[in-house]
Amino acid sequence: MFVYDNIFKNDDEIRAFVLSAEEHYKKQVLDIADNVAKSDTIRFLTLAGPTCSGKTTSSYILEQEFEKRGISTKIISIDDFYRSRYDIADDEEPDYESITAIDLALFKECVDKILAGETAMLPVYDFVEGVRSKYVPHTPSAHEIIIFEGIQAIYPEILATLPKDVTKSIFISVDEDIEAYGTLFEKREIRFYRRLVRDYLFRSATPERTLELWEGVVANEDKNILPYEDNADYIINSFLPYELGVIKPYVLHLIPYDDTNEHERKLHDIVQKEFENIVEIPSKFVPMDSVFREFIGKENR
């Protein structure tokens, strides 16, 4: 368990604290890039992790690092292989966490074409309409590395389509509980607060909506993601010690809780109690390329 109770005397100390956390996170990603770059056989990287673990930013950093080393790289989001909502019965809620939501036949077809050096027609999924909006051709170059990114990248059904001898897997998450200023935050709870803010800012979700979805998210993690964590070749811990101080004003003041809604009122009470002693850190100290910007966005508050 990570423990901290830093008291900052000035902005320079805050800045140093934030940058130290950023360097620790990025070193984990760069070490993986160095290791993979030494191999002449790796064609596929899977980058998986539970919700709000930092998969997207980490995949971009890996792409940049491989390009610096002269290795052509392509990021493919497994989310783009979702089946159309119209393929699901009218009385069913689309379950984007389940492997049944993925068009495995199309995924395997694209993998096979890439392995053969042929052009693969990669789908692009429109989450607003719930359908594939188009297909984009991709012709792999020699020695290209494909990064498959998404929560499903660790599912056995996905890994079964990728040849083991040319595939390495990465698992990213908040990897430990945190005691901050005398308050215990469980690692899953930290990701919940990330999601609470992200969904409000970028998906127009109320706190109640995030709570409604969270039960299913947790159930899927316990069944389909966390049991396979130890099978990964590489592990990234995306927790940033400064993040609780940064996210405090978002969860306390930015998000509007409905006091007439029992669930939102209870959540607000919990947030107020847990963050009471957390020392606030202005988001202006968070680098624009930080993994934490996935959850709070580019605008400083």
pLDDT at 62 over 80: yes
Question: What is the arithmetic mean of pLDDT over 3-18?
Answer: 94
Q: Which CATH number is 155's domain given?
A: 3.40.50.300
Token output for 74: 């392509």
Amino acid in position 251: V
pLDDT of residue 40: 87
Q: Number of helices and strands (H, E) in the chain?
A: 9, 10
- Cβ-in-10-Å burial (0-12, 13-18, 19+) of 6 comes to middle
Whether the model pTM is above 0.85: yes
Helix extents (H) in the chain: 11-37, 55-68, 104-115, 156-159, 187-203, 207-220, 243-249, 262-274, 293-296
**Domain range enclosing 248:** 2-296
pLDDT of residue 91: 46
Beta bridge partners of 236: 172
pLDDT of residue 90: 47
Domain assignment present for residue 53? The answer is yes
pLDDT tens for residues 224-275? 899 989 889 999 999 999 999 999 999 999 999 999 999 999 999 999 999 9
**DSSP per residue, 43-57:** -EEEEE-STTS-HHH
Question: What is the arithmetic mean of pLDDT over 136-141?
Answer: 95
Closest CA to 55 of 150, 145, 187: 150
Domain assignment present for residue 151? The answer is yes
CA distance 253 to 153: 35
Domain assignment present for residue 171? The answer is yes
Domain assignment present for residue 222? The answer is yes
Domain assignment present for residue 301? The answer is no
Q: For the chain, report the end-to-end CA distance as a whole number of angstroms.
A: 30
pLDDT tens for residues 91-137? 455 567 778 889 999 999 999 999 999 999 999 998 778 888 899 99
Looking at the structure of the chain, the number of domains it has is 1
Closest CA to 247 of 214, 283, 276: 283
Q: Please report which helix (H) or strand (E) contains residue 74, including its range.
A: strand 73-77
Domain assignment present for residue 37? The answer is yes
Q: Return the percentage of the chain with pLDDT > 70, whole number.
A: 96
Amino acid in position 27: K
Least confident of 64-68, 92-96, 168-172, 234-238: 92-96
pLDDT of residue 4: 84
Domain assignment present for residue 221? The answer is yes
The angle at the Cα of 238, spanning 263 to 76, to the nearest 5 degrees, equals 95
Domain assignment present for residue 160? The answer is yes
Closest CA to 236 of 299, 154, 161: 154
pLDDT of residue 86: 58
pLDDT at 213 over 80: yes
Beta bridge partners of 179: 3, 184
pLDDT of residue 87: 63
